[in-house]
């Protein structure tokens, strides 16, 4: 999991503030592809 607030990777699904983090692959690979494809 990648925490964009701290810029670090984490093995747990929750950040230090208790917020749920998105999966790294989805955040860095799939979301940009979907955004380009939908426009």
Helix (H) or strand (E) holding 32: helix 31-38
Task: Please say if the pLDDT value at position 39 is more than 90.
Answer: no
Q: Quote the pLDDT of residue 33.
A: 96
- Kindly state the average pLDDT of the residues 3-19: 91
Task: Please say if the pLDDT value at position 12 is more than 90.
Answer: yes
The total domain count for the chain is 1
Which structural domain range is residue 28 located in?
Answer: 2-38
Task: Give the model's confidence band at 4: pLDDT under 50 very low, under 70 low, under 90 confident, else very high.
Answer: confident
Task: Tell me the per-residue pLDDT of 17-32, one tens digit each, with 9 for 90 and over.
Answer: 999 999 999 999 999 9
Q: Quote the pLDDT of residue 28.
A: 93
């Amino acid at each position: 999991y990648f925490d964009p607030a701290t810029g670090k990777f984490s093995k747990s699904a929750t950040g230090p503030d208790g917020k749920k983090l998105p999966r790294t692959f989805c955040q860095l690979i799939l979301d940009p592809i979907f955004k380009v494809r939908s426009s």
